[in-house]
Structure 1
Amino acid sequence: MTSKTTERTPLLHDAPAAAAPSTTIPPLLPVAPLSKTRHHDSGRSEEEGVTARLASTDSVSSGHGQTASVAVGNIVLILLIGVIISNADSSFLMATHTVIASEFDALHDSTWLLTSFVLAGAVTQPLYGKLSDIYGRKQLLVVAYFLFAAGCALVGMGNSMSQVILGRVISGLGSSGMTALVSILITDLVPLRSVAAWRSYINIFATTARSIGGPLGGWLADTVGWRWSFIGQTPIASVAIILIIFMIPSHTQAPEESEGTEEPKGSRLARVDLLGATFMTLAILGFLLPLQIAGDRVPWSHPLILGFLGAACIFLGLFLVTEHRFAKEPIIPLSLLVQKDMVLSLIIMVAQATAQVGLMIIIPLYFQITTEASNSEAGAHLVPGVIGNAVGGLLAGSLIHRTGRYKLLTLFALFFACIGYVLFILRWHGHINWFESLYNFPGGFGMGVVNSTLFVGIQAAIDPEHSAVAASTLYFAGLVGCMTGMAGTSAVLQGFLRIALERRLEGAGYGGVEKAKIIERAVSDLQYVHHAEKTVAHIVTSSYIYAFNFTHVFALVCSLIAFASTVFLKEYKL
């Protein structure tokens, strides 16, 4: 097989072919190309395989006595900066997006602050895997951190809703690379059976950041203002860029040069599937926009909605044709999309991410409406779900490492998540106590387990040649789920909220222009419910609670789809 299709670690130097295997390596040691048969019995143990991959002549001459795990750990420690700030950032927004939008009198557009970020990440997520194969992991990491820092600065200094959303788009372009490349590197460096364990360790930091991010973002919004939640991330990302540049080794030569042939510089860009990425972006937008505006700005029967959906189908078809016939190196190889277990894994990831992310954006709003909770208090109610995510990831990593099994664990986790969503439907009907915030734990647990088990499952199921692209595609599915959760939950909330407001205001004797003004204020300004006259405030609050119940039903249906899909998933012994 040629070097063009060899999965290697461009972040690190290739080990000389003559290097003798060694059991110790120095920090940030050069790493050899991955074996093409890593999922099969190659006649040696996993420990021997990783030792051979990590060995180099430098390990003999350096005199350092650090293990392979320490070398991988050195790399991961630097990249954890990006993991922490990108996850904290998402929690900042979940806790404060309604406050930010209300400042610009655009509460009904608040989910665009979340959706724009995730959409930008979804568009670039598959590209990061391919681009890092072509240009190197380190170069892509620097670009990702720079985009994230620039976007955060723009959000913090934005003077309008459109400027803030643009900043979120730029941040999203970077955040997807900051998170995806970490998992790709781990897959490059350690045996497959250990991947889930390593990812669970990283998930501890990611979860801690999400746990702190919600309350911290709310506290900053209550004290110095929400803008500092974002401006403060810019210098941290800048420090991370410096550490990557000076402490992460670069790939010294292109793969083709290592084989004795030189690749023309322009041919690298030609390998990037820009046309496919464009069609994919337009298809996602075509499906997403109707969820954002239907039932709120225009009715579902409006020709504009049908036009968007029709355009989305056309662009999806063009994307598939491009990937099949014209792309030299497809952004998502269609061979992956016809693999049953890959498709099922993507469906599971999209469905469960839709359920959990949709719920997470509703929880702070629920407490702000029903109990007049401050931003920091509302954000704190997200913590059980975040802790559940960490526990699920750690448990999955440990069990997979010990047993090599993952399907039964996935089924249990998704069933447990469904129980949590049922409890929301049955119990969240107004003023509740702190204990009932724990209903968010099962959903977070399910998401944590699914993140680990599906990642390992697809790596075991697919050709190792597509390892990085498959990882990016799974992350892409998670981001699609996030977008669907945000947009879908917002559509359900806005739709049923307007229905409830119309009915209850008419029943209370409000009509005409007065009724229209109340509805517009109720869906546009979070604080309106706390300043309106008593009768109107009661109507608005009860209407929100009525609409919240349908968002919980939406989450349950999505999680049941994920559970049903898992039943048909084949398990590969690791």
Structure 2
Amino acid sequence: MAGQTTLAAEPDERSPLLVNQQAQPGSSATSTTSISKNSDTVVHVRESSSGDSNAPSYTDSVSTDTSLLRDIESEAATGQPSKDHASFGTLARVVLVLMIGVFVSNADGSLMLATHPVIASEFNDLESSSWLFAGFVLASAATQTMYGKLSDIYGRKNLILVSYIIFALGCALVGVGQSMFQVILGRVISGAGGSGMTALVSILISDLLPIRDVASWRAYINIAATTGRSLGGPAGGWLADVIGWRWSFIGQVPLMLIAVALCQIYLPSNAEQFKGGKRVEPDHSVSSWERLKSVDFLGSLLLALTLLTLLMPMEIGGSKVPWSSPIIPALFGVGVILFFFFLRTERRAIEPVVPLEIFSIRDANLSIFVQMTQLAAQLGLMFSVPLYFKASASVSNTEAGAHLFPAVAGNAIGGIIAGIYIKRTGRYRNLIILAAFSASLSYFSLLVSWHGHTNWFQSLYIAPGGFGSGLIQSAVFVSLQVVVKPHHMAPAISLLYLSGTCAMILGLACVSTVMHEFLKSGLESNLAALALDPADRAEIFQNALSNIEYISTLAGDVKTAVVRAYVDSLWWSHTVSLAFSSVALFASFFIGEKPLGKSEPLPQAEQLSEEES
């Protein structure tokens, strides 16, 4: 290219695809960035230096003439979209269509939170109710990182369609399952699809928007998510009361089929050709087959097996097998060995599924850690709320699910406020601190006031917890994007969602284990104090432990003893949420901040070329 000049500019929020041109220590690739004097185009070439002469190189051509916001203004004035940017109409269509899948997936999560006691009780297996969540999130963790890589090859649209179909198949199996195993298997399949539904939405938005605008557009997605969570709980509880819980899941299938049809019609087929709101010319010199061969399938498999073996003990310990069983340390040991092999594989991979250099960035690690601890705290709370009100107030499934509304409403408000604040100020660190503080205050309030006789005002104490989660998810997403290099953005986003999935497993396992252990000891001591016949006491103990609906059949001192055991055990579960949130608050003070500048054009290529000359 005539008149080329090599630049050594660090990326910032205004230049989403300009990467560091110097090879980093330990890096396996070198990069050069050239600017044409005769056109407003940056050409980024990345070549492998791993010693493999056959390793593919990638060339990206990126327009640098204006920001996406200026392009939207131009489109509004002329009625013609720019050739170099995603148009406003494209963005609006993408967001509206994706809202359907986001709505359904979040409704699915909240209706499961509302109905899991009913589902497990139908099979007389309340102790396994946590597997209705754990199966979903374990499958999500195993498949999360692959969606970003495969969507780079086969397109965001195609992978979104695949994830929707897999999710629908899982919902259908849950609805027709005739055993607890079949229902959990359906949740596993749904989780494999649900991981793509969440991660790919965020990747798409990051492709089509400059970083400062991401939070505000994600606020609209958050509204759909919150609406789904708000309606899912009460709707699932109402369906369980009226026609049975199965229709909560069967009813999702036609909605997902509608979403598939609309995505096929309206989603752009070339969304992956935008990076940070700029159009990227695709590299046709490397075939899809060659790119597929470079995908780190071995790393993905090792990562999935590592997560399964490390997280499995937290699910089976204390319920399926005792904590003293040799199976528990054996699984942890195998997990550590698999993790070692995973690290070796990633260091040698041409296109690692998890670029290890992300973990060398302090703020990236802190951002991921803060979201993990916050989500672990929040899911633990959401798991315990329906159980608390069914046990303490003998409410219907509908009302138990409705008690989740303050948290999901707070989540929506938090997401919207975060989007507006980041858009106007370009700052995010204070939001992360505020989020962790708000959540910690919420869980502390539950410890003080939720003792079995909770009035309507006290039931709102879960709202600040949801508010904190809404703030932190938007703010951490931007915090990660600021510090991660553009060509690592898709795996970084997948990693963020993967960490959230692992946090859900961790939070759920901790809360469920603590709750059931204290429930067992509470039932034993409370029933022993009533001087019941040993046979009757054993029957009450077993029924109360396996089926929460059994409480409504009790009366007098026996019912009081069982309710007190449930309330006390759930009090201890709130201490787990408070511990996680307090750790998040402490860590949030160490996150740095890179204020985001106004969306504005980069200096003209011709001026830069002349200065270098």
Q: TM-score, normalised by structure 2?
A: 0.82
Indicate whether 1:184 and 2:178 are aligned. Answer: no
Match of 1:334 among 331, 348, 356: 356
Q: Is the 8 A contact 1:287 1:309 kept in 2?
A: yes
TM-aligned CA distance change 1:53 to 1:34, over 3 Å:
farther
Indicate whether 1:403 and 2:422 are aligned. Answer: no
Structure whose CA Rg is larger: 2
Indicate whether 1:134 and 2:157 are aligned. Answer: no
Indicate whether 1:273 and 2:296 are aligned. Answer: yes
Q: Is the 8 A contact 2:551 2:562 kept in 1?
A: yes
Partners of 1:337 and 1:481 lie apart in 2 by: 17
Mapping of residues 84-99 of structure 1, within 5 Å: 84-99=103-118
TM-aligned CA distance change 1:570 to 1:533, over 3 Å:
same
Name the counterpart of 1:537.
559
Partners of 2:272 and 2:235 lie apart in 1 by: 44
SS in 1 for 2:244: coil
Aligned CA RMSD, in angstroms, stands at 3.1
Partners of 1:341 and 1:513 lie apart in 2 by: 58
Partners of 2:525 and 2:86 lie apart in 1 by: 68
Indicate whether 1:289 and 2:312 are aligned. Answer: yes
SS in 2 for 1:342: helix
Q: Is the 8 A contact 1:505 1:511 kept in 2?
A: no
Match of 1:393 among 415, 418, 439: 415
Name the counterpart of 1:356.
378
Q: Percent identity?
A: 45
TM-aligned CA distance change 1:210 to 1:60, over 3 Å:
closer
Name the counterpart of 1:468.
490
Indicate whether 1:261 and 2:280 are aligned. Answer: no
Partners of 2:60 and 2:89 lie apart in 1 by: 19
- State the shift of 1:46 in Å: 6.2
Indicate whether 1:174 and 2:198 are aligned. Answer: no
Name the counterpart of 2:593.
571
Q: Aligned partner of 2:495: which letter?
A: T
- State the shift of 1:503 in Å: 2.3
* Offset from partner CA, 1:422-451 (integer Å, 9 cap, x none): 010011111211211111111101100010
Match of 1:101 among 92, 108, 120: 120
Name the counterpart of 2:96.
77
Q: Is the 8 A contact 2:40 2:65 kept in 1?
A: no
Q: Is the 8 A contact 2:207 2:272 kept in 1?
A: no
* Offset from partner CA, 1:269-296 (integer Å, 9 cap, x none): 3233222222222222223222222223
SS in 2 for 1:366: helix
Q: TM-score, normalised by structure 1?
A: 0.88
- State the shift of 1:248 in Å: 2.4
TM-aligned CA distance change 1:114 to 1:180, over 3 Å:
same
* Offset from partner CA, 1:334-387 (integer Å, 9 cap, x none): 011221111111111110000001100100010111111100000000000001
- State the shift of 1:257 in Å: 10
- State the shift of 1:135 in Å: 1.5
Q: Aligned partner of 2:551: which letter?
A: V
Name the counterpart of 1:13.
none
Gaps spanning 5+ residues in structure 1: where? 9-16, 22-31, 37-41
- State the shift of 1:258 in Å: 4.7
SS in 2 for 1:287: helix
Partners of 2:431 and 2:232 lie apart in 1 by: 29
Match of 2:249 among 219, 230, 234: 230
Partners of 2:579 and 2:570 lie apart in 1 by: 15
Q: Aligned partner of 2:336: which letter?
A: C
Q: Aligned partner of 1:372: which letter?
A: S
TM-aligned CA distance change 1:59 to 1:70, over 3 Å:
closer
Match of 1:312 among 329, 332, 335: 335
Partners of 1:321 and 1:20 lie apart in 2 by: 41
Structure with the higher strand share, 1 or 2? 2
SS in 1 for 2:457: helix
Partners of 1:53 and 1:283 lie apart in 2 by: 49
Match of 2:170 among 130, 148, 151: 151
Q: Is the 8 A contact 2:86 2:208 kept in 1?
A: no
Gaps spanning 5+ residues in structure 2: where? 1-5, 7-14, 18-35, 42-58, 275-279, 597-613
Structure with the higher helix share, 1 or 2? 1
- State the shift of 1:543 in Å: 0.9
* Offset from partner CA, 1:41-97 (integer Å, 9 cap, x none): x7965645888999xx98479xxxx99333201111111110110011101100001
Name the counterpart of 1:26.
none
Name the counterpart of 1:39.
none
